[in-house]
Structure 1
Amino acid sequence: MYKKLLAIPVTAVFLLLAACGANGPGGQAAGDPAAKPTRSIQYLGNTYKIPARTKQIAFVESRSSFEDALLTGIPPFAATVEKSGAFPQEYAAITQNTQKLPADIADHVGDLAALGPDTILTSDKTSEEKRSKLESAASVIPISSNGAHWEDNLRLLAEVRGKDANVDAIVSKVRTNTEKTRDKLAPLKDKIVLTAWFHEGAFLVYPKNERYNYLLYTDLGLATPSVVEQAKEPVPLSLAELAQADPDYLFVMVDKSSDPDAAKSFEQLKQQPEWSNLRVVQSGQVYENAVNPGLAGGTAYSNQSFLNALSARLLK
């Protein structure tokens, strides 16, 4: 064996030894992400393993994470873009240096892996198939769309990054403002306040724990409309169905970023007699884009914006 080694050029021997030394226990390459030190974090009853030092956080289909990033000052190093190929304008302050990822990045996960993400935050609405693909690039944590979990989501981002980010102060401010608004809205507790997103000619109403609904009907204690109570997923309402819901106050979000023709379509709809005949229209209690229509809703950032809108319009 010794004679055979001597027959190999010296440079080749060094290369052979270097290759052997580059592998850790079990033959695993030292540069392999799996070889990095890890830590465990708890989120909504589940345990996730992430790198001990997490700096490069990617957002994939997680709009709410942008809003938590705004408040904590923890920008994503990469994130999926809108259909327009750009990031939502609402989040410009924390996406100036963010790498743009196509919406279908899960189908090109090798491109994402090449960027070296430490952790990927996605949505609980993201399919299991997509999540499975993303897991080949880095640890994946699905962010809850349930409005009850806004604080958990905020704390998660700070914990993943390993920063304090003044989360306690942020949470305290939102909770204090919520309690103050709840007290002021007490005289309206039996009134029907409905939020809807005008999309492709219909009014989308969300389940009671999504978007602003948890804030309205749980945190603020307002009456839950039956159409919201019954919704298991986003429900499109026609004008006739909206008339049947008969809200006392209607907040309509017309988001051109998700539906470029939404504004024009809504203006046309408002010319119809069925719209003019709605009780809420006749009483002047329809509020269009009282908050930025592109906000996720159900986050600390969105909730604070909506609390301000409620105070300005319902507590005149």
Structure 2
Amino acid sequence: MRNKFLFISMIAVFMLILAACGEKKTTEEDTSTDSTKEEVAQTQDDSSNENGTRTIDYLGESYEVPDKVERIVVTGAMEAMEDMVVLDVHPVGAIAVGGKFPELYAAVTDKAASIGEKIKPNFEKILELDPDVILGSTKFPEEVQSKLEKIAPTILVSHISTNWESNLNLLAELTGKQAEAEKILSTYKADIEAAKSSLTEKLEGKKVAAIRIRGGQAYVYPKEVFLNPVLYGELGLEVPAEIAKAKSQEAISVEQLADMNPDYLFVQFSTDENADAPNALEDFKKNPIIQNINAFKNEQVFVNVVNPLMEGGPAFSRITFLEAIQQNLDK
């Protein structure tokens, strides 16, 4: 009986030792876990800049911007305004045209203050708005850029249409809308392929052109500018010689347009751009030389199928113009 009692006592002591060891191990694990969490948190803190900023890369340049960008001012960059519409980004300050916001941007200018005209920024107003980031234009002279940079981090948005995807992705990265931008781009590229398959055969051997009337004068643009990238670069239509030779915005006479003799013609006309020639569009259409062009004879002239203030290169312009092409040419 005594031996049995001794054996039970030894087992009890052994179990107490095991429990104590287990408690010590658990305490050590908990301490280790807490320490690991602290190290991870510290590492995450160290990965952010001490001054609460991050670095964004855009077209070969690096820009330091706040971690959280909420207050954006757009000045000069109409391309950025169009990107804001497709990404639903609402700036605190935006470009006015003729003293008011164009209807084209109405969806995102509901909370914006006017910061001046396209090429005339109001620096005092921009300073008052306390922006996190300013989106300017690569068309700005250096002195304008320098003044803007003294107010807030400034990124000059490219006016070159071939940079349209980079422009859209820039705004998406600034505002955390990368997924939305990716969806917009993939959908557009799929729509282009669908349009090509339906239009290629129909428009084979046909000439399609787009012109803009400004100050009472008709202009054409290089194949990479205005609405042309969609027509010639993405849909692969034949480039008329007059457009292939254009180096920039170039005036085209009614005689030159008659020589081109497009089968389909897109005409952009804004009253704001023709204040001194309000009847320019009607005079153009009534010209007997113009009336002999194939597009006019066959009623294939399309006026302002997209808003005349659209730049042509940005995503918003491309999406809208592609829809117009399909509605008017793919019948």
How far apart are residue 261 of structure 1 and its match? 5.4
Task: Please point out which of 146, 151, 164 is paired with 1:137.
Answer: 151
Matched, 1:79 2:97: no
Given residue 159 of structure 1, which amino acid in structure 2 is its aligned partner?
A: E
Seen in structure 2, the aligned counterparts of structure 1 residues 72 and 130 have a Cα distance that, compared at 3 Å, is: same
The structure 2 residue matched to 1:286, chosen from 275, 285, 301, is: 301
Once residues 305 and 180 of structure 2 are traced to their aligned partners in structure 1, the CA distance between those partners, rounded to angstroms, is 28
Residue pairs, 1:214-229, within 5 angstroms = 214-229=229-244
- In 1, the alpha carbon distance for the partners of 2:179 and 2:88 equals 7
Give the letter aligned to residue 250 of structure 1. Answer: L
Instruction: Please state if 1:128 is matched with 2:147.
Output: no
Structure 1 residues 31-54: Cα deviation after superposition (integer angstroms, max 9, x where no partner): xxxx95322111122222222221
Letter in 1 for 2:223: K
Structure 1 residue 259 corresponds to structure 2 residue 274 = yes
- Tell me, yes or no, if structure 1 residue 233 matches structure 2 residue 248: yes
Match of 1:28 in 2: none
Instruction: Report the Cα distance in structure 2 between the residues aligned to 1:130 and 1:256, rounded to whole angstroms.
Output: 29
| 1:257 and 1:294 in contact (8 A); partners too | no
Compared with structure 1, are the counterparts of its residues 47 and 229 closer, same or farther at alpha carbon in structure 2 (3 Å cutoff)? farther
| 1:161 equivalenced with 2:175 (yes/no) | yes
Contact 2:72 2:135 in 1 (8 A): yes
Question: What is the CA-CA distance between 1:231 and the residue it aligns to?
Answer: 2.0
Whole-angstrom distance in 1 between the partners of 2:139 and 2:119: 16
Which residue number in structure 1 is paired with residue 16 of structure 2? none
Which range moved further: 200-209 or 88-97?
200-209
Give the whole-Å Cα distance in 1 for the aligned partners of 2:191 and 2:160.
20
Structure 2, unmatched stretches of 5+, are 1-49
What is residue 311 of structure 2 aligned with on the other side?
296
Question: Which has the larger Rg?
Answer: 2
1:115 matched to 2:129: yes
1:222 deviates by: 1.0
Of 113, 117, 121, which aligns to 1:103? 117
Paired residue type of 1:127: P
2:215–2:275: 8 Å Cα contact kept in structure 1?
no
- Tell me which amino acid in the other structure corresponds to 2:90: P
Residue 108 of structure 1 and its aligned partner are, at CA, apart by 4.5
> How many aligned positions are there?
281
- Give distance in 2, aligned partners of 1:116 and 1:315: 48
2:163 paired residue number:
149
Tell me if the contact between 1:246 and 1:279 (Cα under 8 Å) persists in the aligned partners: yes
Cα offset, 1:234, TM superposition: 0.9
Counterparts in 2 of 1:107 and 1:63: CA distance versus 1, 3 Å: closer
- Which moves more between the two structures, 122-131 or 207-216? 122-131
Deviations 1:233-274 (A, max 9, x none): 211212122122222211001112333456522112322212
For 1:29, the equivalent position in structure 2 comes to none
Residues 95-121 of structure 1: per-residue CA shift (max 9 Å, x gap): 011011112786642432232111111
Give the whole-Å Cα distance in 1 for the aligned partners of 2:325 and 2:88.
26
Q: Identify if the C-alpha distance between structure 1 residues 229 and 286 changes in structure 2 by more than 3 Å, giving closer, same or farther.
A: same
For 2:189, the equivalent position in structure 1 comes to 175
Which residue among 57, 60, 82 is the counterpart of 1:45? 60
Sequence identity, in percent?
A: 35
Matched position secondary structure for 1:53: coil
Residue 194 of structure 1 aligns with an amino acid whose one-letter code is A
Structure 1 residue aligned with 2:11: none
AA in 1 matched with 2:68? R
Answer whether contact 1:74 1:158 (CA < 8 A) is retained.
no
Secondary structure, counterpart of 2:107 in structure 1: helix
Q: 1:247 aligned to 2:262?
A: yes
Gaps of 5+ in 1: 1-34
Q: Which amino acid aligns with 1:176?
A: A
Q: 1:139 Cα shift? A: 1.9
Residue 268 in 1 paired to residue 295 in 2? no
Q: TM-score, normalised by structure 2?
A: 0.79
The letter of the residue matching 1:154 is: L
Q: Deviations over 1:193-212 (max 9, x none)?
A: 11111111211212222222
Q: Offset of 1:283 from its aligned partner?
A: 2.5
Secondary structure in 2 matching 1:253: strand
